[in-house]
């Protein structure tokens, strides 16, 4: 049953179209993962659905009783609020009751002999019983504890940024609602907490809409994936693995159709140039078909991030750590650690928050000094450090000027010298975005710009501290490929299990100041040292059987009468199918509330696209045969 209908909404910032007339339906049991490149408008899309922002056009239809709870990336809060006060912020009857009960309880602890307070507490106790609020209060404390927050009386200003994020998440999770909207809920969480959150959301009743870069999380929680790309919204039923399979098939099918159209276009172009366009009605119709075919060709290039930067030469000595110790006051976070880093090391550093993972990186980069021990850096080492917190960028600086401060030109692996502007284009900063002031960029775009500023210096030791925070999945995939080809040492602190599995060949597990060094990726470590086994994510090779045109040896040297009739009728048949597809696309844009009709139209569209492929294949065969006949005549 649908709970919210989004009909033809559009949103533009300045001259940038984020999405144009997109529609979708959210059903009561949907668990939707929203994905797309940074800057495409994912967070804006959530804000519009949550009612925080308004679309430029279109509308959102929902029941007046529909309750939406929204967790933004940067929620507002009162820094003097205690943890429980912040969690109970929601303006619902039961939340107000619990908040009033907690406040009264606190007051009576200060004034235990106050009779009015005692009477008020007695009334509130009765109301708590009637509304079954005790279980919700207990649930709140359980959720907070699971999220690593145990000091409920602590003020928000006394918490770290990551702790505040978990308090906001707890508030969103326990607030009764029909639709829960979460923007990057896994940021600043350790792996154990993410595991718990997966199970909680999987078992939670009600609809869920979220943005996350964590591909294992998407795979285990989502039952639908929505992708924002080039202003459009694409829907895929299933989890992230199923989305990948369906997207491969979709793009494969589209590319086949486009190749066939291009081939047909070339044949038609040759015919037009031969000067036969004026030979009567049939030829005029064919000329018109040529013009329509030319207009239908998809000449848009898919945006792809490209990292092609060489690595500086790295000598035998890289980083040697000897008896390293680091303490803060009376807490030792690293105790007597010794390790010699190797060129082929791809090391993932894991551990609970506060254990000291980032501390090791800051010691190696000399941002911190050790309590005792030594760190020796090789003479040829050039460290590229992508820190958890982006470096301070002058917001009044244009993006391209910031990159030019790092390097005006860079030489690629192909030994080609390219400009900073060209390099930015490869990082999906088009000419308009390059000259945009940094303060106008989205959070994800700033992170991508920061990543470029690190890599453009061609480091040979790469240190990444929580690289998956605020980077979109497409950027992460290309970063993974870059690490595959990187010829130096890589150290990664990350909570992203997929990223660790994809990139690492060693895991350093930090607990109570001690490092456990293990060969293998994250899943290998978990299988060896924990009762918990990650669900296996299998890479499925997707293949599609395509009817191949006949080989040259099978080609006849003349058309049969039946083939000649078929050849003449095919262009019209292709045109009719394309017209039907256009009509279905138009209907799909209008019909957004009739789910049954939408399913019927989607099925009909799939069948027509299959039929169009068959017709294109047949046309290609006839063109090959026609060309063979011509060549044979010339030989004779």
Q: Which fold has domain 319-529?
A: Rossmann fold (3.40.50)
Q: Does residue 383 register a pLDDT over 70?
A: yes
Predicted confidence band of residue 216 (pLDDT cuts 50, 70, 90): very high
Segment holding 604, helix H or strand E: helix 595-635
pLDDT in tens, 350-375: 988 888 899 999 999 999 999 999 99
Q: What is the mean pLDDT of residues 566-594?
A: 77
Looking at residue 450, its pLDDT comes to 92
Is the backbone of residue 554 left (phi > 0), alpha (psi -120 to 50) or beta?
alpha
209 band by pLDDT with thresholds 50, 70 and 90: very high
Long-range contacts of 289-296 (CB under 8 A, 24+ apart): 289/571, 289/575, 290/265, 292/575, 293/261, 293/264, 293/265, 293/268, 294/265, 296/261, 296/578
Query: Which residues have CB under 8 Å from 65's CB, separation 6+?
Result: none
Predicted pLDDT of residue 52: 93
Q: What percent of the chain has pLDDT over 70?
A: 83
Phi and psi at residue 283, to the nearest 5°: -70, -35
CA distance 368 to 362: 6
Average pLDDT over residues 220-246: 91
Q: Could you read off the pLDDT of 483-531 as tens digits, one per residue?
A: 888 889 999 999 999 999 999 999 999 998 999 999 999 988 988 886 4
Residue 285 reports pLDDT greater than 60: no
Higher-pLDDT residue of 558 and 1 is 1
Q: Please count the other Cβ atoms lying within 10 Å of the Cβ belonging to residue 70.
A: 20
Answer whether residue 255 shows pLDDT above 80.
no
Q: Where, residue-wise, is CATH 3.40.50.300 in the chain?
A: 2-243, 319-529
What average pLDDT score do residues 308-328 get? 86
CATH assignment of 2-243?
Answer: 3.40.50.300
Mean pLDDT of 416-422: 84
């Amino acid at each position: 049953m649908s709970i919210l209908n989004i009909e033809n909404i559009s949103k533009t910032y300045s001259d940038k179209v984020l999405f144009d007339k997109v529609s979708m339906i959210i059903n009561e049991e949907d668990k939707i993962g929203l994905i797309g490149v940074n800057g495409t408008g994912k967070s804006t899309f959530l804000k519009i659905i949550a009612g925080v922002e308004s679309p430029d056009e279109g509308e959102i239809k929902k029941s007046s009783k529909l309750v939406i709870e929204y967790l933004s990336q940067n929620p507002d809060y009162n820094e003097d609020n205690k943890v429980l006060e912040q969690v109970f912020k929601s303006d619902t009857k039961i939340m107000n009751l619990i908040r009033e009960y907690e406040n009264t309880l606190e007051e009576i602890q200060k004034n235990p002999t106050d009779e009015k307070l005692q009477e008020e507490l007695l009334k509130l106790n009765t109301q708590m019983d009637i509304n079954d609020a005790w279980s919700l209060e207990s649930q709140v404390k359980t959720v907070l504890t699971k999220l690593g927050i145990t000091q409920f009386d602590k003020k928000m200003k006394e918490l770290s940024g990551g702790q505040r994020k978990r308090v906001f998440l707890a508030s969103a999770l326990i607030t009764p609602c029909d639709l829960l909207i979460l923007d990057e809920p896994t940021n600043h969480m350790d792996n154990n907490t993410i595991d718990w959150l997966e199970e909680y959301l999987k078992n939670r009743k009600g609809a869920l809409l979220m943005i996350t870069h964590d591909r294992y999380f998407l795979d285990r929680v989502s039952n639908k994936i929505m992708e924002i790309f080039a202003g459009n919204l694409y829907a895929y039923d299933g989890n992230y693995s199923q989305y990948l399979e369906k997207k491969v098939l979709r793009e494969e099918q589209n590319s086949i159709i486009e190749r066939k159209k291009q081939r047909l276009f070339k044949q038609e172009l040759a015919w037009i140039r031969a000067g036969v366009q004026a030979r009567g009605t049939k030829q005029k119709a064919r000329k018109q078909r040529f013009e329509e075919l030319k207009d239908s060709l998809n000449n848009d290039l898919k945006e792809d991030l490209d990292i092609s930067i060489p690595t500086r030469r790295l000598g035998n000595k890289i980083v040697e750590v000897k008896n390293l110790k680091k303490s803060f006051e009376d807490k030792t976070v690293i105790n007597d650690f010794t390790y010699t880093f190797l060129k082929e090391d791809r090391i993932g550093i894991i551990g609970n928050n506060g254990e000291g993972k980032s501390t090791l990186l800051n010691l190696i980069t000399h941002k911190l000094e050790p309590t005792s021990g030594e760190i020796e850096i090789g003479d040829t080492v050039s460290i590229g450090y992508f820190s958890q917190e982006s470096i301070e960028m002058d917001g009044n600086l244009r993006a391209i000027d910031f990159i030019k401060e790092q390097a005006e030109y860079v030489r690629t692996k192909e030994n080609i010298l390219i400009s900073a502007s060209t390099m930015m284009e490869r990082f999906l900063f088009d000419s308009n975005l390059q000259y945009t002031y940094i303060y106008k960029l989205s959070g994800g775009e700033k992170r991508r710009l920061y990543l470029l500023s690190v890599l453009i210096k061609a480091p040979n030791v790469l240190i990444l501290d929580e690289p998956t925070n605020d980077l979109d999945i497409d950027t992460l995939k290309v970063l993974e490929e870059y690490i595959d080809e990187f010829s130096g040492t890589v150290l990664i602190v990350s909570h992203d299990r997929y990223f660790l599995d994809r990139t690492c060949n060693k895991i350093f597990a930090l607990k109570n100041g001690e490092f456990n060094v293990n060969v293998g990726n994250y899943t290998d470590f978990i299988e060896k040292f924990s009762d918990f086994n990650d669900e296996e994510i299998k890479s499925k090779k997707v293949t599609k059987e395509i009817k191949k045109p006949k080989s040259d040896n099978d080609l006849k040297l003349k058309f049969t009468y039946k083939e000649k009739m078929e050849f003449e009728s095919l262009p019209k048949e292709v045109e009719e199918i394309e017209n039907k597809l256009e009509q279905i696309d138009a209907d799909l844009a209008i019909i957004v509330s009739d789910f049954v009709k939408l399913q019927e139209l989607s099925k009909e569209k799939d069948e027509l696209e299959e039929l169009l492929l068959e017709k294109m294949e047949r046309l290609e065969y006839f063109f090959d045969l026609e060309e063979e006949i011509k060549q044979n005549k010339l030989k004779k």
